[in-house]
Every structure is written in C-alpha cells, then in structure tokens.
C-alpha cells in the first residue's frame, strides 16, 4: 500500500520548531526533498516546493520560512509568478542567483501548462478574439476584463484575466493592463470584456477606457490592436467602429 503523505508544512499549526532551525536538522520526514522523494511533488505545499528551488535560507531564518515569507509578501503564488528578478532581489536574503532559480522553476511550470507554441491561436481579426473568448465570457453575470498577450506574429502567448468587476463596471488601470506585456517584451496586446446584459453596445466609459489604453500603448511602444466587447451571440470591435482608436 502506498504511503500517505503528511500534511504540507505550510498548513500545519506551529510545532515549536524555530525559524532558525536549519532544514537539515528537521526530522527526515519533514524535509522538503525527502518528502518529495517519498510522496511525490504533488504532496508538497507551495512553500516546500519553493524551498527546494531556493536551497538555503538565512541566519535566523531557514529556507522554508523564507519561502513562506515570499509567498506572504507577494500575496501568493500567482503574484509571485509575475515578479521580476529585480522584484525578488528587493526581498531580504534573495540574491540574483536565488531569484533566477525561482523564476526558472516557475517558467518551466508555465511552459508545461501552456499549449505547444504551434497550437496557440493567432489573432488576425476581432472574430478571432470573439471566437476564442465568447464561450467563456458571453454568459458571465459579472464583467470580466482580459488582456491577450501577443508575439510578433500576433500569436497568443497568454490570456490574462485582469479584473472581475460588478455587473455594471470594471475599473481598469492602464499600468496593470500593460504590466505583463512590458515584462514579457510583447509588441502588442488586445483586450476584451463582456457585458453581462448581453448587449455589446459600447458605453461612454468603454470608449474613454479604449482611448486611454491606445494612447498609453503608443507611449509604451506596445500596440493595442483591438478592444472587443462580448455580448450574447454577438460582439463589437472598438477598432472597427473607430471608437477610441482615433
């Protein structure tokens, strides 16, 4: 019978082990590497997996506590995955080497989870955006705003869910819309959001938001190729309607 893995350490209550206690001094059944070998990587917490990548902690703070601190400071694994080497090196005890090790591990995970580059869709028209996103977004009860990151060939690198707002509106910050594109050196993006009413007719806020994003993209040298509003059974391209793209 296969052994059952103990509960991940980051979910355990305090067990009296001080942060200064080195991982090598933990009982073998509590060390991340030994737990991975015995029970497989899926049995480890995020902090334990990070501890394996980081390898060593600081004087007075073992590597597992360091990993837990990073997750807390960045607000979880999703936000940590968006960090740059510079962001990580601003944290106590994180050298350039540690930052690179951690980001390399995260990137490998992203590549495993993402489709093969040959299978990624292309965005050559607003119909491509609508066909890709409408099945998920057309019948949502709340507004959802997404950013589509594109490469030089207008091939989709990633679709990023940026906001889920109230039924009536989403608050869109320009810096957040372009943040991932700048970090990943994307030459262009497209954005899309849904109207829960089912009517994709643009509001004055939609036009103003589009205009603001277009102008910011020109300054940042990241082209906004379209803003598509998705309704039920139909959509509207802000570019085709020349709304906000003047």
CATH architecture, domain 118-237: 3-Layer(aba) Sandwich (3.40)
Q: What is the pLDDT along the chain (246 residues), one digit of tens a residue?
A: 445 555 554 443 334 455 667 788 788 788 888 989 988 888 899 999 999 999 999 988 999 999 999 999 999 888 888 889 999 999 999 999 999 999 999 888 877 765 565 568 999 999 999 999 998 899 888 899 999 999 999 999 999 999 887 645 558 899 999 999 999 999 999 999 999 999 999 999 999 999 999 999 999 999 999 999 999 999 999 999 999 998
Could you give the residue range(s) of every CATH 3.40.140.10 domain in the chain? 118-237
**Overall size of the chain counted in residues:** 246
For residue 27 the two structure tokens come to: 């009982």
Could you give the residue range(s) of every CATH 1.10.150 domain in the chain? 9-113
Dihedral class, residue 210 (left if φ above 0, else alpha if ψ from -120 to 50, else beta): alpha
**What class is the 9-113 domain?**
mainly alpha
Helix (H) or strand (E) holding 215: helix 204-220
pTM tops 0.85, yes or no: no
């Amino acid at each position: 019978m296969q052994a059952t893995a103990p509960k991940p350490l980051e979910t355990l209550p305090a067990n009296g082990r001080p942060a200064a206690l080195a991982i090598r001094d933990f009982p073998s059944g509590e060390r991340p590497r030994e737990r991975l070998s015995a029970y497989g990587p899926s049995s480890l917490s995020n902090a334990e997996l990070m501890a394996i990548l980081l390898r060593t902690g600081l004087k007075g703070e073992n590597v597992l506590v360091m990993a837990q601190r990073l997750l807390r400071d960045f607000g979880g694994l999703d936000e940590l995955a968006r960090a740059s080497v510079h962001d990580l090196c601003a944290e106590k005890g994180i050298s350039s080497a540690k930052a690179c090790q951690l980001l390399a591990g995260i990137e490998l995970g992203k590549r495993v989870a993402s489709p093969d580059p040959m299978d990624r869709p292309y965005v050559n028209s607003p119909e491509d955006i609508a066909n890709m996103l409408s099945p998920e977004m057309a019948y949502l009860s709340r507004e959802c705003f997404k950013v589509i990151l594109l490469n030089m060939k207008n091939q989709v690198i990633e679709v990023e869910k940026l906001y889920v707002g109230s039924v009536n509106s989403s608050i869109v910050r320009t810096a957040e819309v372009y943040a991932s594109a700048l970090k990943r050196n994307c030459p262009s993006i497209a954005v899309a959001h849904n109207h829960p009413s089912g009517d994709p007719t643009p509001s004055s806020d939609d036009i103003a938001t589009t205009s603001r994003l277009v102008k910011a993209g020109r300054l940042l040298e990241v082209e906004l190729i379209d803003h598509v509003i998705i309704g039920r059974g139909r959509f509207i391209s802000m570019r085709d309607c020349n709304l906000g793209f003047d």
